[in-house]
Each structure stands twice: as C-alpha cells, then as structure tokens.
C-alpha cells in the first residue's frame, strides 16, 4: 500500500471546527483506495479548545505525530499584545519549525510517496512546501477556500504573506484543490499558467457516523414539543454569517402577529457568539424565539440535525465562493433546509441543485419576512421540500476520498 504524509492543523482532539471532519474522514477512508495516511498535526497545547469525542474515530494503528506549536495570541503575548511578525501568516506559525523537522523524520522512517497539506491554517502549506523542497515528493495542496481575498486578511502585511504562499503553492504543488467551483474559478483566472493543476474537491458527510447517530435516535422526538424548531448548527461568524436581518425579520413578524411565542424556536448550537445572538434578540424583542445551546459531541450534533423540524444555513455574500461544510451534513439529515444567502453564490447554487430551494438573502429582512412563514407553514403541513436523494448520495465522504486518491495516483505519474 502506498503512503501519504498528511499535514493538518485541524485534527482531533481539536474541538469547535467542522474543518476537522475533512481530514479525519480522508484518514478513515484512504486505505480503501490503496493509500495509508501518516498524519502530521500540531501539539494540542496550540488548540483553544479540545475534546476527546472524535479521537476514537482515528483508525487504530494510524501513525499520528503532533509537532510542537504555540498560539501566539495565547502563549506569546504580553498584556494581550504581541509582535505582528509572530503571527504571520497566522498565530500558529511556530508550528512550522518542529513540523518540518518531524515531517522529515517521518519521510525517512515511513517513506511516503506523496505529501498533502490543508488550509485554512496557512502555516500548513508552508510546512508542505518545505517538506516538498527537501524531499522532492509530489505535493497536493488542499486550499478548501480562497486565501488572499479582497479585504481579507485586513492587515496588509498578512495579506501579502497569504498572496506569496498561495502563489508559491500553485506554482509548486502537483495539484491544488478547492471545495467550491467559485473558488476554483478564482484561482484558474488568478494563476492561468497553473490552471491544469487546479481541481474541485468538495466537502461531504460521513455515512457511518450518521448511521451511528441515527441508531441512537431511532424515535425522532420533537426538540420543542408544540413548536417548529429550526436548527443552526455551528459557528455564527459576525461578518460572514451576520444574523442581524434575521432577527429584525423575526421582530417584524412578531409585531404583525404572523408568529407567536411557543410556535417557533430557532436553536443555535455551538454558535461561539451567543452574546451577539442574545443582544440581537433583546434589541428586536424576540428572545422567546431564540435558543442558544453549548457545543455537544459530534454524533450528538448529527442526531440533533436528524431531530430538527428544519435546518438553517446562513452565509453572507462576501463568502459567495465558499460553502459551509455542514450543508452536506444537512443534506444527509434529510430535513427541510432554509438557506439565507446570496442567491448567486456557491452555497445557494449547490443547495438549489440538491433540491433545497427555500432561499432568501441573508442581508434582507424583507426577503426573510416573506420566506420564513411559508417555510414554517410548509413544515407544519407536511409539505416542506426535502433534498433530492441522488444529490445526497453523491456527497458522501467516501466518494470524495476516492477522488483524492485518484489525485495522489495522478501526482505520482507527473
């Protein structure tokens, strides 16, 4: 069996990021397609929050090395301040030095045939590039989302660092992968000389984990008896998933008598920004409709998706080339999906193609006022639209892993 060295900051026991699932499920499924994964991750001290709930999903016998790393903001600051250069391209740049050393040791010991690194921690690509330079092995760089964007990162020096990393990576890696067609198009136009090595490799869901979650939730019980419960599972980013217009719409609908307390609950699970949500609920006098809940183990989060009356997606127009990883889990949960996003973005396009056609602009209280009552009434009457079965089947993590294994095989032939 061939071997691949996989460089990933997001890996158990890190908690609080859906990005963990991408690498973890690749690690689980790659042996089925002839590739043994060797994982090079970061020391858990670098993580702001940890949880053991996904460690059991790492296949027994998998080689996992955790290189020394610090979080500049938490470990190297004085009175909350630190030198900017110590956090470029990101707060975990200290990971690079030990990871390159440990990665070369792994290459000498296990003799992998390829290297894979994954963003959104840009330092992972710095590590991948250096290991590729030292070893000469083919390198597949997983960008997921775009790096240097208009206005992001906001710090000009960090933006320049991002731009340099992505340019070097596109020129050097055997393949660069992105999770959405829009992101891939951006890089095809930005680096036309390297366009033949840009690929789309979407996120997905893990069927085995869903089956386990379903078995623990055989009888689907209402999350809030008597009320329709819409679930937003995951982080509410203040800029990229700004919920202000949703809360304003709730206030308008309440004032008009269109919705009443006890008939609708919007549950935010593990939002990270409960204070923002509670502040907005107070401002628009809709506290009775909002339910903020803490993080739970991953399988429990999936079981909650299966039990919800409907699922809520929020994605701002400034993320039109990105798709939240959880929408594939939403599709697999087979519940009605309300999508608040730009209708022209990749999130809307993907969900529309999967049959989830209840879409309104996240930045328009008027649009939300129009669609929300219709969506809730459709659920109540048993007439809500569900995802198309074939679209769900196409989004499995196992299928995505098969695509990745093919890229590894192609990289060996280049």
Is-cis flag, bond preceding 216, omega within 30? no
What is the chain's mean pLDDT, rounded? 94
Q: In percent, how much of the chain has pLDDT > 90? A: 87
- Rg of the chain over Cα atoms, rounded to whole angstroms, equals 22
Mark out the alpha helices in 30-155 (DSSP H runs): 72-75, 95-110, 123-135
Predicted confidence (pLDDT) at residue 414 exceeds the cutoff of 70: yes
For each of the domains in the chain, give its residue range(s) and CATH number, in order of start.
Answer: 2-203+396-413 (3.40.50.2000), 208-393 (3.40.50.2000)
CA dihedral 140, 142, 146, 148 (to 10 degrees): -60
Q: What angle do CA 223, 227, 228 make, to 5 degrees?
A: 80
End-to-end CA distance of the chain, in Å?
Answer: 19
Q: Please, which residues have CB within 8 angstroms of residue 236's CB and are 6 or more apart in sequence? A: 243, 268, 271, 272, 273, 276, 277, 314
From 69-73, 102-106, 220-224, 367-371, the region with the lowest mean pLDDT? 220-224
* Residue 319: half-sphere exposure toward Cβ, Cα within 13 Å: 24
CB 173 within 8 A of CB 139: yes
CB atoms inside a 10 Å sphere around CB 144: 22
β-pair partners for 40: 7, 65
**Token output for 26:** 């690749």
pLDDT tens sequence across 344-393: 999 999 999 999 999 999 999 999 999 999 999 999 999 999 999 999 98
Q: In percent, how much of the chain has pLDDT > 70? A: 99
State the residue for tokens 């090079």: 40
Please, which pLDDT band fits residue 80 given cuts at 50, 70 and 90?
Answer: confident
**Token output for 353:** 């193609």
Q: What pLDDT was estimated at residue 220?
A: 57
Please, which pLDDT band fits residue 218 given cuts at 50, 70 and 90?
Answer: very low
* Residue 218: half-sphere exposure toward Cβ, Cα within 13 Å: 1
Cα distance between residue 139 and residue 117, in whole Å: 8
Strand bridging mode 198-200 / 175-178: parallel
**Token output for 272:** 């990270």
pLDDT tens sequence across 140-165: 999 999 999 988 899 999 999 999 99
**Which helix (H) or strand (E) segment is 214 a member of?**
helix 207-215
Strands of 239-377 (E only): list them.
264-269, 290-293, 310-315, 337-341, 358-360
Q: Rounded to an integer, what is the distance from CA 32 to the centroid of its chain?
A: 24
Q: What pLDDT was estimated at residue 114?
A: 98
Q: Rounded to an integer, what is the distance from CA 52 to the centroid of its chain?
A: 19
**Token output for 309:** 């009356």
Q: What pLDDT was estimated at residue 232?
A: 98
pLDDT tens sequence across 49-77: 999 989 999 999 999 999 999 999 999 88
CB atoms inside a 10 Å sphere around CB 15: 18
Q: Please, which residues have CB within 8 angstroms of residue 133's CB and are 6 or more apart in sequence? A: none
Cα distance between residue 126 and residue 167, in whole Å: 12
State the residue for tokens 């690509």: 125
Q: What pLDDT was estimated at residue 216?
A: 66
Strand bridging mode 337-341 / 358-360: parallel
Q: What pLDDT was estimated at residue 151?
A: 87
Q: What angle do CA 40, 41, 42 make, to 5 degrees?
A: 140
The model's pTM: 0.86
CB atoms inside a 10 Å sphere around CB 34: 11
Q: What angle do CA 50, 233, 310 make, to 5 degrees?
A: 160
Cα distance between residue 341 and residue 356, in whole Å: 13
What is the per-residue DSSP string for 67-97? Answer: E----HHHHS-BTTB--GGGGSS-TTTTHHH
């Amino acid at each position: 069996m061939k071997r691949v060295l996989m460089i990933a900051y997001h890996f158990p026991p890190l908690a609080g990021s859906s990005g963990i699932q991408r690498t973890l499920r690749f690690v689980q499924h790659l042996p089925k397609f002839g590739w043994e994964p060797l994982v090079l991750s970061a020391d858990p001290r670098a993580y702001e929050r940890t949880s053991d709930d996904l460690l059991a999903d790492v296949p027994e016998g998998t080689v996992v090395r955790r290189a020394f790393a610090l979080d500049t903001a938490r470990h190297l600051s004085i009175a909350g301040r630190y030198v900017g250069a110590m956090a470029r391209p990101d707060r975990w740049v200290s990971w690079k030095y030990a990871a390159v050393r440990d990665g070369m040791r792994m290459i000498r010991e296990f003799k992998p045939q390829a290297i894979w690194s994954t963003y959104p921690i840009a330092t992972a690509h710095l590590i991948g590039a250096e290991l590729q330079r030292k070893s000469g092995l083919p390198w597949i760089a997983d960008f997921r989302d775009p790096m240097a964007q208009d206005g992001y990162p906001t710090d000009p020096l960090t933006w320049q660092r991002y731009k340099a990393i992505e340019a070097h990576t596109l020129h050097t890696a055997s393949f660069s992968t992105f999770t959405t067609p829009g992101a891939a198009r951006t890089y095809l136009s930005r680096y036309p000389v390297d366009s033949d090595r840009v690929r789309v490799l979407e996120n997905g869901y893990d069927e085995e984990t869903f089956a386990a979650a379903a078995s623990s939730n055989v009888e689907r019980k209402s999350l809030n008896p008597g009320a329709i419960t819409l679930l937003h599972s995951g982080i509410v980013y203040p800029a990229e998933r700004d919920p202000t217009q949703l809360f304003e719409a709730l206030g308008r609908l309440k004032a008009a008598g269109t919705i009443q307390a006890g008939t609708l609950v919007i549950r935010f699970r593990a939002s990270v920004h409960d204070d923002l949500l509670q502040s907005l609920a107070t401002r628009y006098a809709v506290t009775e409709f909002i339910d903020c809940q803490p993080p739970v183990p991953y399988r429990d989060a999936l079981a909650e998706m299966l039990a919800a009356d409907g699922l809520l997606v929020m994605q701002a127009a400034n993320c039109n080339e990105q798709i939240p990883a959880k929408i594939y889990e939403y599709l697999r949960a087979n519940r009605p999906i309300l999508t608040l996003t730009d209708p022209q973005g990749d999130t809307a396009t993907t969900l529309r193609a999967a049959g989830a056609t209840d879409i309104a602009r996240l930045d328009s209280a008027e649009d939300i006022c129009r669609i929300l009552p219709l969506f809730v009434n459709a659920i109540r009457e048993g007439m809500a639209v569900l995802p198309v079965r074939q679209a769900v089947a196409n989004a499995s993590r196992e299928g995505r892993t098969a695509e990745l294994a093919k890229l590894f095989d192609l990289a060996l032939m280049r």
